[in-house]
Structure 1
């Protein structure tokens, strides 16, 4: 799989009448192997074993790592809280002014848990050869907000643009380095999670997120490696800015109407989403989840570039009965199409 042309993989999806599903989902795998979230986000082998357990149990068309948006901030020096069974959180504020940003060093790949995440990607790519494996990382705007405090950083974008742009440049340089290292592990793509960019207008998203994401795309995307840009904060107001990045696929959250997302994206890129990870995946009955999934598939009729997915990372303690119902809906739809 490592040498597969990913553009051809995308084109194969576009040409096939059958739908595929690629939910962003790792936490249920952690529970399958009897480990905690903390163990998975701090030990690359546990992380890999969770991905493999899910892959052995469910027919996803690709595998993805945990959507942990603290790894990169930790590498820069941010303090992290590690709950036992929930995703980690950034604590406090690392940067507060231009001078602090100017002094900020771009971390190398030895910092924090980066090596454990690189290990998880490498082990997964080595073990799962019949489908793509997608790494994951935070986007530059979302990372800058976690280092500077999101509210303060949004103010800085308009009141202190030199500070904001310097921090975004440093974040982008680091993320390019990290993504190139992920690529070396043998994965076939990366999901860039840029949810905070949805807090801005389309124009703001373009200026303070998309142009920097585009730099990452230009540095890493090729025939063997694709970028999937995720923005679950987009309600439909910044799809144009997302598309300007040139990513090969776009992943949307449950806040947007998927038909609008599909209309706003070119027909030759993948458009992924957007079953609500909490209200439906975690909290609904299997019957309700299945009905919602079938409804979404039918709404996307006529769009060959639609890929069924969750709206964001499927959370811990999601019932496996709901995951089964999700795939049952996909199977039922494909048998009728």
Structure 2
């Protein structure tokens, strides 16, 4: 997938593209044709080496029957976390009807991406531990990791099965890879991480038989060594992690993807600063063959398009 003579550039674009189609975030997250039109305009303007759909961490939770807060121009969020015991978990399991709700929206987006784009194409799924956090509530989940790990394991076993079903359907559209978004795993110790996230990621990665990316936001330095052993095709790392340092820990056949700060650089910076920051990162990673240039996480909605232009210009001009 990687041309040795070319540094791949795959920023995590989506939300800022609403300016190109004069649409709202909600319209893009609800209507596959609106979202694809925005993605098409993004690819046309910025010419990245790969594209993912819009990032949305509520898709699977909504399909499991959870109530969603859905503003016009902000990320949707889960309003309730009903799974406080095994009875509630069994009720959610009983009601689960397979790939449904807005999962279908994103499958349709991926179908159009696979058909129309000749660059790398990926899909997103939420991570098993993070989806467990949406069901149980992150605070309660963290307490149960210590007080009732068997219950947490039951929840994560179930969320893994839901995610597998959805990821499989996304890959069947013809896209190239899946990124597993597991931000809540950052709260875990290395031992807890291996038990409640990485084990399940490994299962997904081995069963899906396509490249799978592990994305965890925030400072994941305490998890990097294990992430490198997870079977991931690539690790998408946030700006808190020194990628050069990570390259000395992570096996060379695992891609390191990142990691300019989406807020302090992309959202709050200006084109000149972004151009320089991009060049600095590329220079720092010059000798790391398994590096893919990207943002540290999803680029925020209000990011000026000129800032993304500057990032791409710096990347394309770097030799």
TM range (shorter): over 0.9
1:127 alignment counterpart: 116
| Residues 274-307 of structure 1: CA deviation (Å, up to 9, x unaligned) | 0111111111111111111111111112101111
Q: 2:143 aligns with which of 155, 159, 164?
A: 155
Counterparts of 1:230-309 in structure 2, within 5 Å, are 230-309=215-294
Equivalent pair of 1:122/1:186 in contact (CA under 8 Å): yes
- What is residue 102 of structure 2 aligned with on the other side? 113
User: What's the RMSD between the two structures over aligned residues?
Assistant: 1.3
Q: Which runs of 5+ in 2 are unaligned?
A: none
Find the residue that maps to 1:298 and give its secondary structure.
helix
Alignment of 1:212 onto 2:197: no
Counterparts in 2 of 1:14-25, with a 5 A limit?
Answer: 15-16=4-5, 18-25=6-13
Q: CA deviation at 1:259?
A: 1.3
Q: 1:70 aligns with which of 33, 51, 58?
A: 58
Shift of 1:182: 0.4
Shift of 1:110: 4.7
**Could you tell me how far apart the structure 2 residues matched to 1:51 and 1:79 are?**
27
Contact 2:99 2:166 in 1 (8 A): no
2: distance between equivalents of 1:326 and 1:262? 22
Counterpart among 122, 130, 146 of residue 134 in structure 2: 146
Q: Which residue of 2 aligns with 1:36?
A: 24
State the Cα deviation string for residues 200-223 of structure 1 (Å, max 9, x = none).
1222111110000111001102xx
Aligned pair count reads 318
1:192 aligns to what SS in structure 2?
A: strand
Distance in 1 (CA, whole Å) between partners of 2:163 and 2:133 is: 14
Quote how far apart the aligned CAs of 1:261 are.
Answer: 2.0
2:185 corresponds in structure 1 to 197
Once the two structures are superposed, what CA deviation does each residue of 1:183-237 show, in whole Å capped at 9, x if it has no partner?
111111111111111111222111110000111001102xxx3111111134311
Separation in structure 2 between the aligned mates of residue 41 and residue 303 of structure 1, nearest angstrom:
36
1:26 aligns with 2:14: yes
Task: After TM superposition, give the deviation of residue 30 of structure 1 in Å.
Answer: 2.1
What CA distance in whole angstroms lies between the structure 2 residues aligned with 1:134 and 1:331? 21
Greater mean deviation of Cα atoms: 149-158 or 110-119:
110-119
| 1:3 matched residue in structure 2 | none
Q: 1:320 and 2:309 equivalent? A: no
Gaps of 5+ in 1: 1-8
User: Alignment partner for residue 101 of structure 1, among 89, 95, 116?
Assistant: 89
CA distance in structure 1 between the partners assigned to 2:317 and 2:171 by the alignment: 35
Distance 1:108 1:288 in 2: 49
Q: Partner residue of 1:4?
A: none
